[in-house]
Structure 1
Amino acid sequence: MLKRAFIPLALLVLVGCATKPVAPPKPNLVDGNGLPPTAVINHLAQRIVTELVKQNDALRPDQPIVVTTPVLVGDMSSTNAVALQLQQGLMASLHSFQFNVVELNLGDGLRVTGDGDFILTRDWQKLSTNLPVDHIVVSTMSPTTNGLAINTRIVTLSNNRVVSASQTFVTQKELSNYMQPSEQIISHDGILYRQSAPGMNEVRVLGDEK
């Protein structure tokens, strides 16, 4: 007669635990979206361009287009670190949709120096004055207490007609490496103001003087 073999219950439990698959470690999140800060801005640019493509009623992919630096809506001339990075993201996103993007900051000649070889410039005197462009991307930013409202338009230069428009919002938490809540004590026109708590005023983009 065959004898039955009995395996202790405790040993079965241990074997079951040993063969249970181990879950992979969670990624080290950097911000609210779980992406590096630059990647978050690039995703923001993709959202904006996707809406621009959806709303577009005139621009053809073969027509040259320039992307300008987003500005603060208050004076239409100030910008910040978010805007500068967003401009690059918009150019990349438009190109991914196969639009004919023109590099505005390309100089009129290559500069070979001891620090490197350069052709990009922000000196308007070194830029080409003959760009065959009739469409341009303009964006304005409106800071709020918890983020930035961004309005972007594609405009025809020959008649100032808006051929596409986009509205979006990015929170301070999404771009915590670029934006911080306002301080409890802020300075405006040389006068100090004390709020009842931090975050009562517009968010502060890192690098801004206010």
Structure 2
Amino acid sequence: MKHSIALVSCLVALFGCESSQHSQIVPKGQQSKQAQQSLQLAQLANDLNTPSEVEYTDPGFVSYSHNKQLANYAGQIALELTDSMSGVSPNAVAITSFVSFDKSLRNSNQLGNQLAESMIHQFQKLGYPALDFKSHRGIAVTRNGDFILSRDAKKLPQNPVPSHVLTGTMIYRDRGVEVNSRLLDFDSRLVVASSNVIIPYFILHPSATVTY
């Protein structure tokens, strides 16, 4: 672009010099023609020097990805529980699946179980010991792997007994899942801490909220 502007400027300068040197011997008709060409070259040089306007249309806010994860909301729940917990020091917290807020309160899904798993980690981070009541006293060695977790209640030990239990319900709103969590004293069933968080649908996989 710079080379083009320089070239046109040189042509205008040379053309002007040549016109001035031969102005006395060039006929009037030729003089007006040369003057017109000189004006055209000058206009071309001016156009090259003037930056062209670029039309810009604001597309608005467009989010192609997000950095939010379910663990972020589990951390928020843990912090809210800690803030509302006054004068209580749990020594063994059992964390159960979060359930759909229906008539039975016995229906969970992928989201409810993942929240429970994430809360174990979040409570450990905050210094509250979480009790994994799904673990055996022994290790089952099989061809498929070595296991210590089970969902067979008959094979699980009854001790130790948790001091507190964390549970929660899930209500499906228009734009997200409202998660109501509460920490209960295991013996008295008194609520010692509570939390309310809404998880937007856009961070959840479609299968996460399917009840089973």
Same fold (TM over 0.5): yes
Give the 4+ runs in structure 1 shifted more than 4 A. none
Structure-2 residue corresponding to 1:82: 111
Structure 2 segments unaligned to the other structure (5+ residues): 4-62
Quote the offset at 1:60 in angstroms: 1.1
Amino acid at match of 2:97: T
Structure-1 residue corresponding to 2:175: 146
Mapped to 2, the partners of 1:164 and 1:41 lie a distance apart of 21
Amino acid at match of 1:150: V
Amino acid at match of 2:175: N
Structure 1 or 2: more helix by fraction: 2
Quote the sequence identity (%).
22
Note if 1:72 corresponds to 2:100.
Answer: yes
Mapped to 2, the partners of 1:89 and 1:139 lie a distance apart of 13
Quote the offset at 1:43 in angstroms: 0.8
Structure-1 residue corresponding to 2:66: 33
SS at match of 1:173: helix
Mapped to 2, the partners of 1:80 and 1:31 lie a distance apart of 27
Q: Give the TM-score taking structure 1 as reference length.
A: 0.66
Note if 1:111 corresponds to 2:140.
Answer: yes
CA contact (8 A) 1:108 1:126 kept: no
Structure 1 segments unaligned to the other structure (5+ residues): 1-7, 11-29, 180-203
SS at match of 2:160: coil
Structure 1 or 2: more strand by fraction: 1
CA contact (8 A) 2:71 2:118 kept: yes
CA contact (8 A) 1:82 1:178 kept: no
Quote the offset at 1:132 in angstroms: 3.0
CA contact (8 A) 1:81 1:178 kept: no
Quote the offset at 1:31 in angstroms: 7.8
> Computing the radius of gyration over CA atoms, which structure comes out larger, 1 or 2?
2
Mapped to 2, the partners of 1:31 and 1:83 lie a distance apart of 27
Mapped to 1, the partners of 2:145 and 2:64 lie a distance apart of 34
Amino acid at match of 1:54: D
Quote the offset at 1:145 in angstroms: 2.6
Q: 1:71 to 1:32 in 2, by over 3 A?
A: farther
What is the number of residues matched between the two proteins? 152
SS at match of 1:33: coil
CA contact (8 A) 2:135 2:156 kept: yes
Q: Over aligned residues, Cα RMSD in angstroms?
A: 2.2
Q: Give the TM-score taking structure 2 as reference length.
A: 0.66
CA contact (8 A) 1:32 1:174 kept: no
Mapped to 2, the partners of 1:122 and 1:149 lie a distance apart of 27
